[in-house]
Amino acid sequence: MIDTATPILRVSNLSVDFPMHKSVLHAVKDVSFDLHRGETLCVVGESGSGKSVTARAILQLVAKPGEITAGSIHLATEAGEVDIVALGNRGSAIRQIRGRRIAMIFQEPMTSLSPVHTIGHQIIETILLHEKISKEEARIRAAALLDRVRIPNPDAALDRYSFEFSGGMRQRAMIAMALSCNPEILIADEPTTALDVTTQAEILSLIRELQRDRGMAVLFITHDMGVVAQIADRVMVMFRGEKVEEANVFDLFARPQQAYTRALLGSVLKLETPAPRPARPMAEKPIAEINDLALHFPLNPGFFGRPTAYLKAIDGVSLTINQGETVGVVGESGSGKTTLGRTLLRVYNPTGGQVHYWRGDGTSVDIASLGKAGMKSLYGEVRMVFQDPHSSLNPRMTIYQIISEPLRTNTDMSEHQMMDRVQELLTRVGLPADIGDRYPHAFSGGQRQRISIARAIAVRPRLIIADEPTSALDVSLRHQVLDLMRDLQSEFGLSYLFISHDISVIRYFCDRVAVMKNGKIVEIGDVAQICERPQHDYTRQLISAVPRPDPRLRADAPA
């Protein structure tokens, strides 16, 4: 009989500090919660909320120089309660808990498995660490585990390496490894964040299924309210190291008690309804018309002779972007959406098709076959905004240098004029005008993305290609950045090609959307029509896999 009355894990007044250069960062402040057998507790919060550090503290895995400074973590065992904090982070006592009683899966399935050991080696090693059985028995059990997480040909898969598997398969192998010693608690630290939505849906249902089978307690760390609504029994909200609120999942979504929770839910729900859009004009004027565009990379070119196969990154894509319109491109990783955006700026040279672009002066050019000089003159009209604001700004250039660079190369403005323009741009994107002489590291992710946008609009472009501009941002910042982009659109008459994997962002922001798969567009149409009445199977699958931030949509929701 499972004892559900007494918690299996009691965390009381936990504090974790990271000594910094001259100060102390309180990563976790006085956090207490209980975890019961068979339940899923979701810890949700934005970056820097201390949710991951809390999870690591439970296994004594807090990285140096971080340190648990106060509190206790009581784990119920057959022999009574054990305080994990008192065990320290070395020695056999804590090692017998790690992997045996409490197992953990991590965010990055790409890097959480060793690249130089076989999958089987890593699972069997875990079993042999904790149980006195023979290697052969351990191997049989490892194969059964891989079968359980639905990896095909489990016995052969044991002898393969992690880099031979896709991201989803790696995360399954990681789960199999975590479950190999029948742990009582599974800690999952953003296990689906790095995966595509359809893969995420599979992994989430797998975790839920395994949990029911085994009566395991799951502590699930995530930033995604949609995932919370799908899988949580109870939810703990964290903000800047403190626990804000803890409640049943249905109560939390229906009646959030704290202002922060309400704000967080508000920014998620805001993305659920499309932003108000002006009606499209009756007669559309195209700015760019992509015609049967193709980009094939040769695979496996022989020593002599011709390549035997091609990777069709873009395989005959046709798409029109009208003036003042936002066209979304949605697809999973490997669908060719990012490659499409880059090919439009000739980062890659297309191997077929045309891209007709109508310039500001009314003349039309074919970007696909344009020479170097012609492209150079276009960089003043077509600009790009990148996904990762941390790596797309040169850390050794000041904000002024970053924003003025396109002005320097595309216009003949004087230094004085550029100074004025940069100040004006900074104010326009909602940043103080006097930050020009500071460096990117002084700014947060959201601020940096505003700087990227300021750089993109500096030369008054007509078309902006935005590649996942909000994916690296916390949810509360996403709609702010999108709203800024929309305001700029109506102010300057911009057109956007908006590339994203996130259908809710697309629905919020775009007029029309193209769904890409394996280098082809499978469906294209008005955003409302695609999201509500998808015609193609793949689109339907993609949309239904997106976790909606509403627990009432769950199968097990109370009536």
- Contact footprint for another protein (CB under 8 A): 59, 61, 63, 90, 92, 95-100, 103-104, 106-108, 111-118, 125-126, 129-130, 161, 163-164, 174, 177-178
Beta carbon of residue 422, minimum distance to another protein (angstroms, whole number): 37
Question: Which stretch of DSSP H or E encloses residue 159?
Answer: none
CB under 8 Å to 99, separation ≥6 — which residues? 126, 129, 130, 178, 180, 181, 183
Closest CB to another protein among 34 and 108?
Answer: 108
Closest CB to another protein among 214 and 460?
Answer: 214
Do 325 and 362 meet the contact criterion of CB atoms below 8 Å apart?
no
Give φ, ψ of 354 to 5 degrees: -130, 155
Two structure tokens written together for 47? 């970056």
Beta carbon of residue 442, minimum distance to another protein (angstroms, whole number): 25
Closest CB to another protein among 30 and 125?
Answer: 125
Residue the block writes with tokens 């007029």:
511
| CA-based nearest residue to 463, from 325, 353, 291 | 325
Beta carbon of residue 15, minimum distance to another protein (angstroms, whole number): 21
b (16+ CB within 10 A) / e for 209-246:
ebbeeeebbbbbbbbbbbbbbbbbbbbbbbbebbbbbb
Closest CB to another protein among 207 and 482?
Answer: 207
Closest CB to another protein among 92 and 363?
Answer: 92
Closest CB to another protein among 47 and 114?
Answer: 114
Beta carbon of residue 393, minimum distance to another protein (angstroms, whole number): 24
Residue the block writes with tokens 């044991």:
158
The Cα–Cα gap between 476 and 532 comes to: 25
CA-based angle 174:229:13, to the nearest 5?
Answer: 75
Give bridge partners of residue 385 from the DSSP assignment.
Answer: 466
Two structure tokens written together for 482? 């999108």
Beta carbon of residue 421, minimum distance to another protein (angstroms, whole number): 42
The Cα–Cα gap between 212 and 335 comes to: 34
Beta carbon of residue 118, minimum distance to another protein (angstroms, whole number): 8
Beta carbon of residue 538, minimum distance to another protein (angstroms, whole number): 30
Closest CB to another protein among 62 and 201?
Answer: 62
Beta carbon of residue 253, minimum distance to another protein (angstroms, whole number): 31
At 552 the three-state DSSP class reads helix
Closest CB to another protein among 173 and 249?
Answer: 173
Beta carbon of residue 144, minimum distance to another protein (angstroms, whole number): 18
The Cα–Cα gap between 400 and 407 comes to: 11
At 423 the three-state DSSP class reads helix
Closest CB to another protein among 110 and 140?
Answer: 110
CB under 8 Å to 7, separation ≥6 — which residues? 34, 35, 36, 76
Beta carbon of residue 256, minimum distance to another protein (angstroms, whole number): 33
Two structure tokens written together for 56? 């690591």
The Cα–Cα gap between 477 and 472 comes to: 10
Closest CB to another protein among 106 and 220?
Answer: 106
